[in-house]
Amino acid sequence: MSDTRNRVSAERALWEAEAQLAFAAETTALGLFEWDLVTGALTWSYGDEASLGLAPGSIVSFESWSQRVFPEDVSATQTLIANVAAQKLDKFTFRYRIRCDDGKARTIEGAARCIYDAGGTLVKTTGVNVDVTERVEREAALRDREAQLGAIMATMPSAMVVIDVDGAIHMFSAAAERLFGYAAADLLGQNLALLVPNSARESLSAKFAGYRAARASGDAGELFELVARCNGGAEIPVEFSIAEMIVAGEPRYTVFIRDLSERAAAEQAAADLRNELAQVGRGAAMGELAASLAHELNQPLSATANFLAATVLLVSRGGDRDKVAELVTLANDQIQRAGSIIRNIREFIVKRDVEIGIEPIEKTVRDAVSLVLVGSARVDVEVRYAFEQPGQFMLADRVQIQQVLVNLLRNAAEALQDQPKHRRTILIAVRGKPGDMIEISVSDTGAGIDARILETLFTPLSSTKGSEGMGLGLSICRRIIEAHGGTLSAENRSAGGATFRFTLPAGSFEMPDDDR
Ligand code: ADP
């Protein structure tokens, strides 16, 4: 009696479940099944086999089901059912892969209800089958793509960050982790501005806005240099390049970040090398210089000896004081000259780094003039200046530029020696040139450059001064100017005399008023 009652309520539950399932099936295209564990019969709702590409009647029992389903999924299902029955669960969910007639696998997911007999034995399950193959494939493809992207992000040599319109970080590549010293996980969701120092934030957001405006008008990506800030505060020069992409209808921005400190280091290495080469060049020039040195010094020293011998003679004869003073002055001039030759050579030999700085032009020029005029008191030279604008600066090694000026001025002064007094003028002019350069020219009113050496003027040993001239000055001058990125040239002026002009990068420098 009670057996019958149980049975009726079980059937009723089943009916209810079926009604629910039928509704579910209608709305979400599910298939229904019923599995009788006592007989082993398995019934699928009509059309389900066909929709999976199976011949109708392929699945009629647990046995025939097992033959189609992947073996590991069959045993997983068996274990699942055993657990469900042991725990007397009234429902469970499952998933399995089934091989269809075309050989393709499809993935089925579902949920089932359990029906137990009076003894508590699981006798029937009934439920829904859902074909989730497309979804599973989509998910797998997505996982593949994610894995691919992950691999790219991990192996890409350049630092890359993906941000959204607000600058929030969505991806942070392994190289970016290395460059900035942050873990990606700590930066996701944070703003890109975190990667630059406070002082650069405004410029970063301006560049970003500028890029978006340019994109809106169809322009290509943008590159800009910036200072970035690493975890811990170290600042490094970097180059940002931004590219836009659309992800799920939303704009995203890929920011590639290139570390420029390596470039800066390479530039420094190149500069060091240039320094070394200049050093070697000077050393080679020294060999040639040494040969001429004896002659160079011999001349002023023997002149000094002569002047002093004459002085001694004059004094022993009780000569005129003024005459004695004049001879001593002449001797002194010669000693000065010998001294300046030695000084000059020392400056070339002593290894010193090229120290490029923003240097005042006028002061450098005037210092050079006073250096030269000390040693050439005999030559009554008028020096005129034409500074295009006061307070101009150059980007140069001041000592080297002074060497160049001293050389040019000394040559000019020597060229003026043979001129009548009213024609002994040196004009030093400074003016700006296009490309942020300045030009310094030294003109004289001498006889001009000898046509025989005009061509070879800047090669070593070009001199018209016989044993007195070393003919090295101009070749070294040109090397110095070229090392600064400028040019040195010479020409004869139509009015007579020579002009030497050289260019240097201009130094822009805002001086505070009270320092001026
Ligand atoms: P050095 O002065 O030792 O001869 P430089 O290389 O300085 O060596 O000059 C080479 C030559 O160029 C000089 O010997 C001279 O003939 C010529 N020169 C240089 N400057 C002038 C000038 N301002 N006027 C005329 N000739 C010049």
pLDDT, tens digit, 9 for 90 and up, residues 406-423 = 889 988 988 998 888 888
Asked whether the predicted pLDDT for residue 371 surpasses 80, the reply is: no
The CATH architecture that domain 355-516 belongs to is 2-Layer Sandwich (3.30)
Asked whether the predicted pLDDT for residue 435 surpasses 60, the reply is: yes
Instruction: Give pLDDT, residue 467.
Output: 45
Q: Is the CB of 499 under 6 A from ligand 1?
A: no
| pLDDT-derived band at 20, boundaries 50, 70, 90 | low
The CATH architecture that domain 16-131 belongs to is 2-Layer Sandwich (3.30)
Task: Classify 472 as helix, strand or coil.
Answer: coil
Instruction: Give pLDDT, residue 511.
Output: 47
Instruction: Give pLDDT, residue 456.
Output: 82
| pLDDT-derived band at 472, boundaries 50, 70, 90 | low
Nearest CA to ligand 1 atom 13: 463
The predicted-structure confidence for 290-325, as pLDDT tens digits, reads as follows: 655 665 677 778 888 888 888 888 888 888 888 888
Higher pLDDT, 468 or 254: 254
DSSP run (H or E) holding 116: strand 105-116
Looking at the CA of residue 415, tell me the nearest atom of ligand 1.
Answer: 24
pTM of the model: 0.40
Task: Tokens for 296, please give them.
Answer: 């160079």
Q: How far is CA 463 from CA 241, 247, 449, 493, in A?
A: 55, 73, 10, 20
Pocket test for ligand 1, best of 463, 478, 491, 499 (most atoms within 8 A of CB): 463
Q: Is the CB of 450 under 6 A from ligand 1?
A: yes
Looking at the CA of residue 471, tell me the nearest atom of ligand 1.
Answer: 8
Task: Round to whole Å and give the CA distance between 241 and 230.
Answer: 18
Coarse DSSP helix, strand, coil percentages of the chain, rounded to the nearest 5 percent: 50, 25, 25
Higher pLDDT, 7 or 204: 204
Higher pLDDT, 443 or 368: 443
43, 34 Cβ separation under 8 angstroms? yes
| pLDDT-derived band at 515, boundaries 50, 70, 90 | very low
As to burial, measured by CB atoms within 10 angstroms (0-12 exposed, 13-18 middle, 19+ buried), residue 167 is: middle
For 420, phi then psi, to 5°, come to: -60, 155
Residues 6+ apart with CB under 8 A from 315: 324
Task: Tokens for 315, please give them.
Answer: 């004094």
CATH classification code of 154-259: 3.30.450.20
